[in-house]
Amino acid sequence: MISTGSIAEIQALISKFKSEGKKIGFVPTMGALHDGHLSLVATAKEKVDIVVCSIYVNPTQFNNQDDLKQYPRNIEADKGLLAENGCDVLFLPSDEVMYAGRNTIKFEFGDLDKVMEGKFRPGHFSGVALIVSKFFNIVLPDYGFFGQKDLQQLTIIKKLVEELFFNLEIITVPIKREPHGLAMSSRNERLSKEDREKAKIFSIALTEAKSILMEKQSSEAAKSKVESLFANHKAELEYFEIVSDKDLLTKTENYLAPDTVLCIAGFMGNVRLIDNMYLSGV
């Protein structure tokens, strides 16, 4: 595995690979890698000749500076995992490389970045779109690989690619879960063993709500069930929404359509967690 923090060096490598007719896949990460990240790499390995990964904790997508400071960083362990799992090139830029003191561009996505995560994390998706745009322009991948767990981010990145005519295809990789159902996340590292076990309430709530909707009961019944599960639980529910994965707007009918996805977010202690589940079983 080749590792570099230089834009010029990685662009030279990419240029060489492309001149050889090789397809490039890109897996952006913020490190603290787990099996969910590695499933992105594995999916990329099956589809492309060269897998490029990045590790960069992007400051512009954090509206909470304490969250930025506490975000887990395990760079040496991460490098070992990527090397063992087939990453060909690792891009490890610094803040100075990615921003060089400049941070003036803002992105707007209409309703896409105003609901759910956007409602509780203002400016978050502008920062995501900015850093992803920079990476796409640097790496020039043929494919970008993103996890379903960050569904709203995925939807916004697809919109970004469409609107700015980025010449690549976005590949969605399904959520990887821990044995008790908790969606894998770098933030899980900040949970105590007890809280990690209790955090399965998020996936349990999604499963219960899915069952209610599959029985053709109302969305109100599903939401009421979710709220009741959290009522006397250590975890705090922030939102539960039933939306279309196309526009993230709340669905009021046709819940059994393949675009229906249940989205949830909340806190286990001071750790914020998100999860989602399709009714179609995706």
The binding site for ATP consists of: 30-37, 147-150, 184-187
Binding site feature residues? 30-37, 61, 147-150, 153, 184-187
Which residues are registered as beta bridge partners of 28?
Answer: 54
Q: How many beta carbons lie within 10 A of that of residue 125, not counting itself?
A: 26
Phi-psi region of 32 (alpha: psi -120 to 50; beta: other; left: phi over 0): left
Residue environment code for 132-171, b if the CB has 16+ CB neighbours within 10 A, otherwise e: bbbbbebbbbbbbbbbbbbbbbbbbbbbbbeeeebebebb
* Residues placed in the known binding site for (R)-pantoate: 61, 153
The residue from 37, 124, 180, 233 that is catalytic is: 37
- 37 is known as an active-site residue: yes
Supply the residues annotated as catalytic.
Answer: 37
